[in-house]
Structure 1
Amino acid sequence: MHILFLTHYFPPEVNAPASRTYEHAVRWVRAGHRVTVITCNPNCPTGVLFPGYRNRLWPQQEKIDGIDVVRVWTYLAPNAGTIRRIINYLSYMVSAIFAGLWIKRPDVIVATSPQFFCGWAGVLLSRLRRRPFVLEIRDIWPESIETVGAIRFRPVLRFLQFLEKVMYSSADHIVAVGEGYRQKILEKVNIPERISVVMNGVDLERFRPQPPDRELRQQWNGEGKFVCAYVGTIGMAHGLDVVLEAAEQLRASGRDDVVFWLVGEGARKKELENEAQRRGLDGRVIFTGRLPKEDMPRVIASADACLVHLRKTELFETVIPSKIFEMMAMGKPIIMGVRGEALRIVEEAGAGVAMEPESAESLLECIEQIRQGENFSGNYVVRVRDYLHTNYSRDSLAERMLGIIRSRVIGTADSAQKCEKSDKTNAVPEVLAQP
């Protein structure tokens, strides 16, 4: 089977959609399928091309672990602001459709959010190529951009909501990354038989417990201190002002035994970094910038606890950050500043403590709870990894999604054969059709 996969993000980019797509695609290739990925030249989240890549008008090809990767031209823009990002998204849609027309005939087309117009590229390309279309939903768009205030103009939002419903209805099947997403989609289009849930997971071989990196802890002022690490995008949705407020409260109480690491890039990174300097929090809040994906296990292993946080809104209660599975696999207690299904998973596994989102006081209480808690000792790591192996192994989840994709291909082929047989049955005999 030849799978044509459209995604705005792909390695060497290190965000969640890039990781999920790669982890699935590489397993499908190992299972004997051909996977072609159409993506951008890597530049997220800064809008600056990664070393070794050029943003050319004509598609460029490379092979990554058996995956055929086609990189298309896009208007480069940082993961900040609104107008330039929309142009970036639209340019990908146009370039991806153009490139997709020249790909050797695929059996199925898959497109993934959170980039809304990536989904629309899949809709249009599937119509042009007359191939079944599977839509993966990792974010409820445009609700999420309205929630963070990126777009407030109601006529634009209403138009985007109309496009959203058409996109859902146009898919032969939808794969949502959580039950909360599935319910949100069903509020908009009544197609329960065409929506499945395939959650995020973790590669348990790659992410496993390892000793802290002493050099890293020394470099980032963590020696002899409790390290609370936030690892991921530093964006508008993540509400990381709470870290600065917590650090300021610790300073006011005369404590110097806790340090926060903010590991990553994003729309608000520079703003928060400037604010931390203004408040005199140097040494208490460390901004590391973007690090390669292969460094993440070392960073997580060197922390004492990991913070997962989103702003306090109802919409974000449907979000299940994929990084929780990596942190759990490495045996790191999670301070869970996200409500909903994600919190249920962490609590069910006994892998962390619940934090009130956007509350510095709650963050500090969680740190003390982890420092003093007995729940994170003994057979804690074995218990959590057993839970992940049973429920959230990348191998089983990739196989489940492949089964959904294959069913669309087989279903379409069966339908075509039935139509062909019907046409032959109902056809007028040639001898009688002659005048």
Structure 2
Amino acid sequence: MKVLIVTPHFYPENFKCNDMAFELNKRGHDVTVMTAIPDYPAGKYHAGYGIFKRRRECVNGVKIHRSFIIPRGSGSSIRLALNYISYSLFSTIKALWFGLIHKYDTIIVHETSPVMVGIPAAIIKRLQHIPMVFWVLDLWPESLSAAGGINNKLILGLFNKLTRCLYENSDMILIGSKGYRTSINNKGAFDAKIHYFPNWVENELASDLIINDGIPKLPDGFNVMIAGNMGDAQDLPHVMDAATKLRDSNINFIFVGNGRKKSYVEEFARNHGLHKQVFCLGQFPLAAMPSLFSQADVLFMALKDDPIFALTVPSRLQAYMSSGKPVISMINGEGAELIQEADCGWSVPAGDSEALAELLKKISLLDKSKLVSKGLNGKRYSELHFNFEQCIDNLEQFIKLGNHKEIQAKHK
């Protein structure tokens, strides 16, 4: 089957669609990816890529076509807007001739942000009369207000109409969190199109291989590790408030990753005398994460107290569970419920830094066997529900189902 994947992010950027594209190609599908010049997470073009460099290439048998974008820079609102608009504009222009020259059997939209990534896919779908699978990883327009701080009713209304239109043009809508179903159905009668498709855990993260080269040794004490993007959604002000309350304890906060709020964490630690308890280690490759996780006592995540985030199961939670370490969270809704269902850790309500500080104090005094038991519960749950090969098996079935429905529609 000839599969077109439309996504704003692809290799060498590190996103789930990389695994999906390469695995589908390995299974015999002819896979093409329509994406952008890579600029994430540094905010500038990756080395070796540019306006006139490597706009077309083939990686692991997957054909890649890259549209021009204005790099996101430091991630300010203006630069992000320019980044989104430039991608949407130039990928839409490309879609007009792409859909006429190349023929595909199905389209998969990898919708992180922005939702406009679906526009070029919808154009090609219409030109070729083929099914479109819309993989929802970010709810729009809710994320504009929750993470982007945009509350203009006209702008939110326009994006609500655009999102509804894209859902209407989709033959299948895949959701990684069951809570997304309600939000999507509030925009129209889409329930029959919706299928649960949870994030898988990358093989590198699920590995038990421990390496030492280039891996820093964590400080003495009870180490709480926070891995992944450091952005507005991660509610870092409340995390740092909890760190302040634990100033006189042996509890350390270890940040692994990058993002627009990393400088905020570093500055806060300096200004509040937390430099001996708060450490920002920077970005590491996926293969290094099991070695870093193995040194932590617990893995921590937080999301802001906002209705959209209560519907979300962040992919880092599944990665944490696969590590065999207990999970601590300061979140509401779906993520907290998953931790409870898997019995793999503890949660406090989003934004409750007081409760977080008290919980961490309590857990730091627990017998190690209790932590080990919780961690093993998460690992077993992850192996059962977030297995990569099983997820791609399910995806292939979704694609076949979408094509079957399209064929039936043509013959009506």
Common fold, TM-score beyond 0.5? yes
Query: Which residue of 1 is the match for residue 361 of structure 2?
Result: 368
Between the aligned partners of 1:49 and 1:8, the Cα distance in structure 2 is 13
Return the match for 1:82 from 77, 82, 95: 77
Query: Which residue of 1 is the match for residue 161 of structure 2?
Result: 162
TM-score by length of 1: 0.86
On the 8 A contact 1:109/1:133 being kept in 2, the answer is yes
On the 8 A contact 2:111/2:135 being kept in 1, the answer is yes
Counterparts of residues 19-34 of structure 1 (less than 5 Å): 20-34=16-30
Between the aligned partners of 1:279 and 1:373, the Cα distance in structure 2 is 28
Query: Which residue of 2 is the match for residue 195 of structure 1?
Result: 194
Query: Residues 49 and 298 of structure 1: is their aligned pair in 2 closer, same or farther, counting only changes over 3 Å?
Result: farther
Q: Does 1:239 align with 2:232?
A: no
Gaps of 5+ in 2: none
Could you tell me how far 1:172 is from its partner in structure 2?
1.6
Query: Which residue of 2 is the match for residue 125 of structure 1?
Result: 124
Return the match for 1:94 from 76, 89, 94: 89
TM-score by length of 2: 0.91
Between the aligned partners of 2:74 and 2:112, the Cα distance in structure 1 is 13
Cα RMSD for the two superposed structures:
2.4
Q: Does 1:172 align with 2:168?
A: no
Between the aligned partners of 2:209 and 2:5, the Cα distance in structure 1 is 34
| Cα deviation digits, residues 203-256 of structure 1 (max 9, x gap) | 4575134558597453xxx332211111111111111112322222222xx33x
Counterparts of residues 131-142 of structure 1 (less than 5 Å): 131-142=130-141
Helix, strand or coil at the partner of 1:237: helix
On the 8 A contact 1:212/1:303 being kept in 2, the answer is no
Helix, strand or coil at the partner of 2:179: helix
Helix, strand or coil at the partner of 1:282: coil
After TM superposition, the structure 1 stretch with the greater mean CA deviation from structure 2, 81-90 or 110-119, is 81-90
Q: Count how many residue pairs are aligned between Structure 1 and Structure 2.
A: 407
Query: Residues 55 and 355 of structure 1: is their aligned pair in 2 closer, same or farther, counting only changes over 3 Å?
Result: farther
Query: Which residue of 2 is the match for residue 47 of structure 1?
Result: 43
Between the aligned partners of 1:302 and 1:183, the Cα distance in structure 2 is 39
Q: Does 1:318 align with 2:311?
A: yes
Gaps of 5+ in 1: 420-435
Could you tell me how far 1:275 is from its partner in structure 2?
2.5
Query: Which residue of 2 is the match for residue 36 of structure 1?
Result: 32
On the 8 A contact 2:204/2:287 being kept in 1, the answer is no
Between the aligned partners of 1:204 and 1:353, the Cα distance in structure 2 is 25
Query: Residues 244 and 212 of structure 1: is their aligned pair in 2 closer, same or farther, counting only changes over 3 Å?
Result: farther
Residue identity opposite 2:104 in structure 1 = P
Percent identity of paired positions between Structure 1 and Structure 2: 25
Structure exhibiting the larger radius of gyration computed from Cα positions: 1
Q: Does 1:385 align with 2:379?
A: yes
Between the aligned partners of 1:70 and 1:274, the Cα distance in structure 2 is 40
Counterparts of residues 146-295 of structure 1 (less than 5 Å): 146-203=145-202, 206-209=205-208, 216-218=215-217, 222-251=218-247, 254-255=248-249, 257-295=250-288
Helix, strand or coil at the partner of 1:74: coil
Residue identity opposite 1:63 in structure 2 = C
Residue identity opposite 2:225 in structure 1 = A
